[in-house]
Amino acid sequence: MSKTPTLETLQRLADVVGEKGVIRGAVDQAPYLKEWRGIWTGTTPLILRPQTVEDVSRILAIAHETETTIVPQSGNTGLVGGQIPNDGEVLLSLDRMTRIITVDPIDFTITAEAGATLTSIQDAAEAVDRLFPLSLASEGTCRIGGNLSTNAGGVNVLAYGNARDLCLGLEVVLADGRILNMLKTLRKDNTGYDLKNLFIGAEGTLGIITKATLKLFPRPRRYDTVFAAVPTLEAALCFLAQSKQASGNRVIAFELLPELGIQFTVKHMNTRRALETVSPWYVLLEMADSTEAATETILETALEQSFIIDAVVAQNDAQRRELWALRENMSESQKYEGGSIKHDVAVPVSELPRFIAEASVALENFMPGTRLCCFGHMGDGNMHFNVSQPLGMDKQMYLDQWHKMNRVIHDIVVKHKGSFSAEHGIGVLKREDMARYKSETELDVMRSMKKTLDPKNILNPGRVLP
């Protein structure tokens, strides 16, 4: 239980940002305190909306002095409860720090404040004919500070990496209010310890990210998008390796889709099948800046080798969007099939067939009749291992099994050297998994980092570490 801040402390904090930067009333506070799916709702004595890094610095200096706990919040799109105060913490929102500071097309870099939305960064890059490749469903709302604090992923990670890989420099405010300026646009710099990566993915528990410099890329001029039926998961992996090799490493997406997921999507989402051929699995392959000839050769070889049994290539942008709709609507389509228990997991790419086989059996043993809809980023081993309820079962009774089923699946994930949180992080949702699956040594080093950087435990307390 954290200390309740005194009225004097709250006033000192409010004075930093002025009345325009403070939200006190319950109605105005509500959007900041409710997680968008409604799973978490919080309360806070005060919401602070600083406008500068100096504001953030002064806020944390006061918080450190008075042992006032702080929850930093970016776009409030997180899925693990990390951004919602649950113990009367003061909420620090970055939503007034939204400036794009510089965009340099020759340097292929962009520098922005932490509250800039992901879309605004993509747009600023596009305005100078460059690509910022991070792309997520929530991109219009999520903010780059949150993307970095949670090391966001998405569809194109196999080509461009996670948020971590896209970051060249950071400005961070430490727990005691000191400003750590590591804002660099350098591609090579070996001057001392890499502190930047400690703050990326730390979910605001080690410092507050206030600015970032990010990598940009050439904008692809051409996309080749293929929807293929694959006979087995092993064949899909061969198709992935072959496409990467034969395209000269131009694969930017390789998504796995199961027949059941296609059925759900066609039934509920106003989409149609891409192929008449019915197969247990399909893949959506996309290459950037490849050629028609290369794509043809890849498909011919894949058919010859039986990596795929049928395929269609998008002939125009409308067809490309239609193929992608099958993938993008798959999550939503499950809502119409009753309760769905979800797992955000990853295993080594080559382990996917063994993992899915073993987890499918375990699932049937755990609860007969569940309907597995396992889809997602095969190219980087990250699966949305979503399980729809048995037909006719009571939805709530099914959803009550969420944590128990997670346990069964996560045990198998870890056995296959995988991750029980591939994209979404830990927050408050997966702290127990940290205790169960991480080694005592790893947890101990993580705790020592927390203690060193935030000795009074004021930054997002109770998140990440068990």
Exactly one of 8, 25, 193, 392 binds its own copies (CB under 8 A); that residue is: 193
The verdict on 175 binding its own copies (CB under 8 A) reads no
Residues 200-259 that bind its own copies (CB under 8 A): 200-202, 206, 217-222, 237-238, 240-241, 244-245, 247-250
Of 138, 162, 279, 334, the one binding its own copies by CB under 8 A: 162
User: By CB under 8 A, is residue 140 in contact with its own copies?
Assistant: no
Q: Using CB under 8 A, which of 112, 121, 157, 387 touches its own copies?
A: 157
Applying CB under 8 A, among 32, 40, 108, 264 the residue interacting with its own copies is 108
Residue 415 contacts its own copies per CB under 8 A: no
Smallest separation (angstroms) from its own copies to the CB of 221 = 7
Q: Is 305 in the site for its own copies (CB under 8 A)?
A: no
Q: What is the DSSP string of 246-285?
A: HTTS-EEEEEEEEHHHHHHHHHHSS---S-S---SEEEEE
Pick between residue 363 and residue 446 the one whose CB is nearest to its own copies.
446
- Determine if 306 is a binding residue for its own copies (CB under 8 A): no
Q: How many residues bind its own copies (CB under 8 A)?
A: 100
Report in angstroms how near the CB of residue 150 gets to its own copies at its nearest: 7
Least CB distance to its own copies at residue 156 (A): 12
Residues 6+ apart with CB under 8 A from 181: 171
Indicate the residue among 10 and 240 with the shorter CB distance to its own copies.
Answer: 240
Using CB under 8 A, which of the segments 4-12, 88-96, 324-332, 436-444 binds its own copies? Answer: 436-444
Distance of alpha carbon 150 from alpha carbon 159, whole angstroms: 19
49 within 8 A of 76, measured Cβ to Cβ = no
Asked whether 327 and 373 are in contact (CB, 8 A), the reply is no
d(CA 275, CA 367): 32
At what angle are helices 7-17 and 53-66 packed, to 10 degrees? 170
Residue 275 dihedral angles phi and psi, to the nearest 5°: -135, 150
Does residue 151 belong to the site contacting its own copies (CB under 8 A)? Answer: yes
Under rule CB under 8 A, residue 296 binds its own copies: no
Separation in Å, CA 259 to CA 256, 274, 276, 357: 10, 12, 12, 16
User: What are the φ/ψ torsions at residue 222 (nearest 5 degrees)?
Assistant: -150, 140
Q: Which is nearer to its own copies, 365 or 439 (by Cβ)?
A: 439
347 binds its own copies (CB under 8 A): yes
Q: Give the bridge partners for 288, in sequence order.
A: 223
Residue window 359-398: x/- pattern of binding to its own copies, with contact defined by CB under 8 A: ------------------x--xxx----------------
Separation between Cα atoms, residue 32 and residue 374, nearest integer Å: 32
DSSP one-letter string for 320-353: HHHHHHHHHTHHHHGGGGS-EE--EEE--GGGHH
Q: How far apart are CA 235 and CA 306, in angstroms?
A: 7
In angstroms, give the least distance from the CB of 193 to its own copies. 5
Closer CB to its own copies, 268 or 436, in the complex: 436
Partners of residue 92 on adjacent β-strands: 48, 72
How near is the Cβ of 337 to its own copies at its closest, in Å?
26
Q: Does 75 bind its own copies (CB under 8 A)?
A: no
Smallest distance, Å, CB 415 to its own copies? 14
- Alpha carbon 7 to its chain centroid, in Å, reads 37
Q: Is 101 in the site for its own copies (CB under 8 A)?
A: no
Q: Is 448 in the site for its own copies (CB under 8 A)?
A: yes
